[in-house]
Structure 1
Amino acid sequence: MEDSATKLDKLAHRNARLKALLQKYKQTHHLQSALIQLSEQASTVAELTLLYPAIHNILQDYIPSKSFYVVLHNPINNTLELSYFADEKDGISVPLRQEHNFSHGVTGYVFQQGKTTYFSREQMKTATEQGLFKALGTPAEHWIGVPVYREKTIIGVLVAQSYNKAKGYSEQQIELLEVMSLYLATAIERVKKRELLESEVKIRTRALTQSNEALNVEIEQRKKALERQHILFKISELATQSKNLDDVYVKVHEIIKTITYADNLYIALYDRESNWLSFPYCIDEFNDNAIPRPFAKGYSELVLSTEQSQIIDIKRAEKLIKQGVIERPVKVAANRRATSWLGAPLKTSQGVIGLIVCQAYNDQHIFNQDDCELITFVSHQIANVLQTHIANQELKQSHQELAYRINEKTKELSQANMHLQMQIEERKKIEQQLYHDAHHDSLTGLPNRSLFLTQLEKTLQHYQRYPEQQFAVLFIDLDKFKDINDQLGHQAGDQFLINVSESFSHCIREHDLLARLGGDEFVILLTHLTEHQQAEDVAKRLIEIMKKPFCMKGICIQSGASIGITHSKISYRNTDEIIRDADAAMYYAKNAGRSRFECFHPLLNASSNHADAENMHHLDNLPMYFRSSEIITLNEQKQSETLLEAFGEHPVLGSTSFEVLKKFASDRVQHFEVELQLITQAFQQLRSHHLSKVLFPCSSLVLERINFQALCTLLTTHSTQHVCLLFNEQEIRYASAVQIQNLKNLVDMGYSIGLNEFAKDRCELNLLTEFKFDYLLLSSTFSKRVLQQENYNLQLQGVLAITKIQQSKVIAKGPSILNYRTLLEKHGLSLFIGKQHTLKPFSNFQPNPLKQQQ
């Protein structure tokens, strides 16, 4: 039985949940009440000058808003203009001063940022000193600005401020302001429309009273409208009173006769599949029986192709014939040719289904624009009637067939309905599963990178508002995971990851988030922390759990976890910085002995002096060397290509690839110079080791506008037909427009390019079609998934289909074991990364001659 303490804990937990629900419902009630009041005001006030005070009165019931103003954007002169202003301390004359420009103040800052911004007095002062904006007016203790959007365009800013230090703005009150701002644009639009409508009514009334002639014109227009409405009533009756299509055609002819000359009329229907015209109704003094014909170059085809009504007289007919638009049948006699011809398309929601034509011979009538407008007007209604009757006939036939079979198929339909219901239920489950799969790791069921980064972004934004609510991120890399895969197989490796994810889940709280980034990398987001020790305690529990050896098939392997920890800091502006620091701390822990945790420090080593710390981030001070990897086939046949990767000896991280080292480069100019030196060294390695073709990884930094010319100059000084520059897929995915254009320029100039680490976290086929890549290096993560899940194999087939068209070579990364490559070959892959060789190291970078020339 549970003891009393446990029961009290449960009651306390339930009580806390009830309070949270009560607060949530209270907030929802406030939101609904405020929106209802706003809607009522938008529906009743006559002008905008009355709307803003009404909104102000609504807000004062829920938040501290005695000081409140609204600023809207004037697109004509591109300035922010004051629409409403009420302040406890500043009079209306203060914001109207010449030096008081909202675009330069905090209001303009919110307008430019496009998101809700909350400042305390101290934060406002700090931001002003940093030059983000100018201080205008009396400083407030609490200031909040909410952007006002119309659709996706920001049109202004709604601002509330409090001069009472004790009266700030809670998260619920901020949410209320944000919701009010969403409906403010709509309310403004409604009031503006009402003002415009009232203005138009006044102008119209004045015009009607002043001009009797205008009144008569209006009466005539209304008579025409009534006549058209009467015609519409007649046409609408056709849909219900006519029993068959022949009767519809006759009554349509009678209606047309009441509005224009229609002694000669025919209706043509167009079949897009067969490209033929049929004439179900034709009354003509020279041709009473129109025969179906293929689509040609007649008057009717001109109406169908242009989907517009056409008036054709003798002069226009001759002109169209000369232009080759119309071809006149040879058999038609001259006295039997129409002297005036009017055709209107029969348009429906599915497109043009035919046309209706009136024609006159021997100048009996000349059709004008009024006739064209009337025929066009009724043709749309007639088209819907015809389509309805055609559909009804088809439906009637299908109903007859169904009635004939319904007695014998009752049981079969019942079973089919049951089966259909099961399919619907199954589809719902599949849709739910698809949504879950899109945000969770398919192997462990944990949240994936996308879901984790979304939650981390929300946590960071919340922390920026409430710095006292701290958080921490733990970046976890499993030790000796490769040994488990190699010795026990990938199936054992998958089971190991599942066991680890379940064990890690027991080490964190319910509101914390555990996610798998990919491979053997996990990450944890700890929220609501009060001290740094709490995150370190979690790391200790994780390390302790990983001390238990993993056993399968009688083999036990001792794994472990290297953990990097970074805590919340005011300096963090985006999630990439947080992940970068946690990753750096993890690498430090791994290089410091594994199965341990380390907290991030800017120098990664508290004992290093300043000079050593600086050297850690200067790439040109690190001893460098190349590692070459052969490109081979399944039967170990070496290809002409060689993958050449740069490595450096880092004082903290040890021997590390340049792809990792460049993450810690503090100087982008120095980073670019080192990369140019590496490309130069790659050309030297090409010649000294007699390599046929070198694939060399580069960063997107070389594609930036200020660097690209130097890269091109370097490439022109060497023979580049034996070198292919590889770019990381993630960098290309988030590249700027300038970098994208320069990458295309490389292809246009004849240089060979490739895509590295493709499909590491997701497979984007559009990248393969946007650029002409000569080589595509699949990530080892994607290669493994192809063997494990059917949907990744389908993605691979899409990749292979595109690369075959693009004539690109696809190379797989991953374990060198034969079984792995054999299985991948069954899926269509034939090239793999083979043996690696370490080339002679070099440590001294020479001054960049290209930079000296510049």
Structure 2
Amino acid sequence: MEDPAALLRKTIRRNKKLEVLLKKHKQNNHLQHALILLSEQASTVAELTLLYPAIHDILVQHLPCKSFYVVLQNQFSQELELSYFVDEKDGIAVPLHEAHHFSDGITGHVFRTGKTLYLTQSQMTEQARDGVFRALGSPAEHWVGVPIYRDKTIIGVMVSQSYQKDQHYTEQQIELLEVMSLYLATAIERVKKRELLESEVKIRTRALMQSNDALNKEIEQRKRALERQQILFKISELATQFNDIDDVYQQVHDIIRSITFADNLFIALYDKNTGWLSFPYCVDEVSHYKPRPFAKGYSELVISTEQSQLIDIERAKTLIDSSIVVRTRHYHQQRLATSWMGAPLKTAHGVIGLIACQAYDHKYEFNHDDIELISFVSNQIASVLQTHLANQALKASHLQLEHRVAEKTKALQQSNLHLQMQIDERKKIEQQLYHDAHHDALTSLPNRSLFLTQLEKTLQKFQRHPEHNFAVLFIDLDKFKLINDELGHQAGDQFLIWVAQAFLECIREHDLLARLAGDEFVILLDHLSDRQQAEDVAKRIIKVMQQPFCMKGVCMQSGASIGITYSNKHYQNTDEIIRDADAAMYYAKNAGRGRYEFYHPLLTAATGNHKTAEYHHLSALPSHFRGTDIIDLSLSNNDISMLEAFGEHPVLGSTSFDILKKFAAEKAEHVDIELLLLTQALELARDTKQDVLFACSTILLDQQVFAQLCQRLAQHTHSLCLIFDETEIRYASNQQQDNLCELTHLGYIIGINDFAKDRCDLTLLSQINFTYVLLSSTFSKRVLQQTSYEAQLKGILAVTQLQNMQVIAKGPAILNFRSLLESHGLTRFFGKQHHIEKAAIDVRQTPPIPTESETLTF
């Protein structure tokens, strides 16, 4: 027999095991019950705001959970956001008022670690003091946080806390929270899907209701169209089934009666030849209308305006007060209509009459729907009435044919319209594809491909029509790399967009601006009459690029270096044009940036086969003079001529020395050629009685050169006039200007060239005693185009007349406008039409004195 003590111990052990099993069974039962309730709530609640309170109610049944909240991560901002919050002490205000509350506190700590955490108040205080997390809100006696996972990814934290010391959390209760958190993500997803489904149902319901409204409107429109179609059928019957005109009138009345109030109706016909109104049909409870001359009644108003009229008592008074309608002298004795409407009977030959309805004693008030219907009917029956009046049988067949043709035409038009819409849509797509392929994505400007295509067309046009000149401006932005480095590439892109818009405002609508690459832009100017127009565009671009570009509070100054090439007959392809414009641009950039330069062959001569070293000194170039008469309309003979020097350059050919001097290597070389040309000009002017104008530069007015100038002038008996460019005089030094005035004191003749090219500075004319003033060709042309320049010309003529100066208009083709400029007070002209080539004179040798037969006539 077993020992009773051993049996007792075994029984105690079994009882403990049974208690443990019973406890686990209860715990599993609680978990199962909680999960069942959670699943039911997830299947029944319609939105998340109802799900969280339901979960809270489930947990309250099994653990101290009066203070409970749920935090989820926002998938866009990645911040922890409060989804549900109930607290015994803090309410809801505390967590919402602190920025990044959950990320910094213990909740964020649980989210980062991804593990369940249970702490007492003392443990929380200790860890907060150690910097593990921040202590936020009222301290709880017991705090437990459980991470919420979805597919192994943590999406939030579920927290329960107790403010009572004796209300702690057991392992079973924590396990219940963990199990609930596992199924919470699934429940949230199910509720969200249900919310989305309900939202889609609502949207589709609204769409269906809108569709029903549209369908009702369409049904109403179809009803109205059917009514009008029935009216058309009835009117068509008038054209075929009724031969008696009185029957036609009666049927018209019946038709109008079917659509509106027509107890009182009359049809009036108008004869333009006699000017009389007749009333072939009238049904009226008061009046009976008789034929009358055309006057100022309601009927006449409809016929004269050819529009339907709706007249009530107020409008009738207005028409009478303004004398548009004039009453007869017996109208006070008549019973007047309180509402009246009439519609014209329009045919291809004009208005033949009208249909009118009226009501007395406010029995009916016509409205716009009535006037629309009677207008519709009148337009349809006008031809029918005219047909019956002229030839009932013949016109009836014609109307039937016209109706069928109209229907067929309408069907064909609908087909054509549908086809045209498809064609237009395809064109839009093709245009967009073409635009994207030929335009810069950043600035939306044309790209290199489109620019070269247009340049090729312009070059071909110029080769066929040499008078259609063009120019290409090659633009490189200064300091663009610095803007990119200082402000960033995004600022660089914004700068390029700003530059593109600014350049567009500097050119005409038909000019072409394109972006080649990076900070390089090109402009194609077409339909130019002279090089000055290209210069004007370049000046505008340089001026606009002087404005600073600001971004992010930083302002930087850029600029533009511009190379210009002007059309000439030697260009055979676009590559040559781009090459020359690029060379001119690099010349401008190397010359100091922020400027423009025209292309000259000297810029690229080094790359060709020309040997320029032997022509380094300009005085070694073979040269000749060309004399051009100045036409004086006030005299029978011309007493002035213009002398120009040309050099035979191996690259440029026969070219003005003004261009050659620009590329002089040294100032001394420039002075030598100027004095040499002056000596030859003095020889040519020695034996002539005319004034010979010779263009020279202000370098001759330098103190170290001026003595040589005066010496050469004193050695010759001559009638030579030294002409200086206005721009050089304006920027001359004080010493140079003093020497210029000294020339006049010494009795020598001087003049100013290209005056008023950029601005009209009359002070120059009053300060220096010029004998001749040569107007710029640009100014002469603008005088004919703008009235403001006419006023400036009057000022010039007034000043020069007081100073006894002679004004000469100059330009490549100025004589073509001679008669026009003469009307503005100009009588002397220097132009291309009367160009006279003179014999070549080698400036390296002393020219022989011409004989009488060889004397140059100027």
Same fold at TM > 0.5: no
> TM-score, with normalisation over the residues of structure 1?
0.34
